[in-house]
Structure 1
Amino acid sequence: MLSNSTILVTGGTGSFGHAFVPMTLQKYNPKKIVILSRDEMKQWEMAKLFKDDPRIRFFLGDIRDRERLYRALDGVDYVVHAAATKIVPTAEYNPFECIKTNVIGAMNLIDACIDKRVKRVVALSTDKASSPINLYGASKLASDKLFVAGNAYSGGHVTSFAVVRYGNVMGSRGSVIPFFVSIRDKGTLPITDPRMTRFMISLEQGVELVWHAFDDMVGGEIYVKKIPSMKVTDVARVIAPDACQEVIGIRPGEKLHEQMIGIEDSPFTFEYDEHFKILPSINDWASSEERIKDGKKVDPDFVYSSEKNDEWMADDELSRWLDSNSEKLGAF
Structure 2
Amino acid sequence: MYRTKFGERTPTTFLVALKPSLHFLKKMLNDKSILITGGTGSLGSELTRTILTKWPNVKRLVIYSRDEQKQFRMAQEYPPDQYRAIRFFIGDVRDRERLERAFSGIDYVVHAAAMKHVHIAEYNPDECVKTNVGGAENVIEACLKMGVQRVVALSTDKACAPINLYGATKLTSDKLFVAANNIRGKQDIRFSVVRYGNVMGSNGSVIPFFLNKKRTGKLPITDPEMTRFNISLQDGVKMVLHALEHAWGGEILVPKIPSYRILDLAKAIGPECEHPIIGIRPGEKVHEEMITPSDSFTTHDLGEYYVILPQTPRWELPDYIRHFNATPVARGFRYNSGENERFLSTLEIRESIRQHVDPTFEA
Q: Provide the TM-score with structure 1 as the length reference.
A: 0.96
Question: Percent identity, aligned pairs only?
Answer: 52
* RMSD of Structure 2 on Structure 1 (CA): 1.6
Per-residue deviation, 1:316: 2.1
The 1:115/1:301 distance shift into structure 2, 3 A limit, reads same
Counting only pairs closer than 5 Å after superposition, residues 1-332 of structure 1 correspond to structure 2 as: 1=24, 2-29=29-56, 30-51=58-79, 52-283=82-313, 287-290=317-320, 293-325=324-356, 327=358
Q: What code does the residue aligned with 2:41 have?
A: G
Deviates more, 1:134-143 or 1:279-288: 279-288
- Relative to structure 1, is the Cα distance of residues 329 and 168 closer, same or farther in structure 2, using a 3 angstrom cutoff? farther
Contact 1:279–1:286 (8 Å) recurs in 2: no
Give the 3 Å change call, closer, same or farther, for CA 107–50 of structure 1 in structure 2: same
What secondary structure sits across from 2:127 in the alignment?
Answer: helix
- The residue type paired with residue 50 of structure 2 is M
1:18 is displaced (CA, Å) by 1.4
Distance 1:300 1:7, change over 3 A: same
SS of residue paired to 2:306: strand
- The answer to whether the 8 A contact 1:13-1:43 is kept is yes
Change (3 A) 1:24 1:283: closer
Q: CA–CA distance in 1 between the matches of 2:264 and 2:350?
A: 11
Contact 1:171 1:329 in 2 (8 A): no
Shift of 1:50: 0.8
Q: CA deviation at 1:296?
A: 0.5
Is the 1:165–1:260 contact (alpha carbons within 8 Å) kept by the matching residues of 2? yes
| Partner AA of 2:233 in structure 1 | L
Paired residues of 1:198 and 1:230 also in contact (CA < 8 A) = yes
Q: Does the Cα contact within 8 Å between 1:217 and 1:291 map onto a contact in 2?
A: no
Spell out structure 1 runs of 4+ moving beyond 6 A.
none
Contact map agreement 1:114 1:158 (CA 8 A) in 2: no
3-state SS of 2:295 partner: helix
Conserved? CA contact 1:15–1:173, under 8 Å: yes
Q: Helix, strand or coil: the match of 2:307? A: strand
Q: State the 1:290 CA deviation.
A: 2.7
SS in 2 for 1:25: helix
Q: Structure 1 CA distance, aligned partners of 2:60 and 2:177?
A: 24
Q: Is the 8 A contact 2:353 2:359 kept in 1?
A: no
User: Please, which moves more after superposition, 119-128 or 49-58?
Assistant: 49-58
Unpaired segments of 5 or more residues in structure 1?
A: none
Return the offset for 1:24. Answer: 1.5
- The residue identity in structure 2 corresponding to 1:41 is Q
Letter in structure 2 aligned against 1:25: L
Once the 2 structures are TM-superposed, how far is the Cα of residue 328 of structure 1 from its aligned partner? 8.0
Provide the aligned length of Structure 1 versus Structure 2. 330
Distance of 1:148 and 1:329 partners within structure 2: 42
In structure 1, how many angstroms separate the alpha carbons of the residues matched to 2:77 and 2:318? 43
What code does the residue aligned with 2:43 have? Answer: F
Render the CA deviation track for 1:130-160: whole Å, top value 9, x for unaligned: 0000000000000000000000111111211
How far apart, in 2, do the equivalents of 1:329 and 1:78 lie?
A: 36
Q: Is the partner of 1:324 in helix, strand or coil? A: helix
Shift of 1:325: 4.4
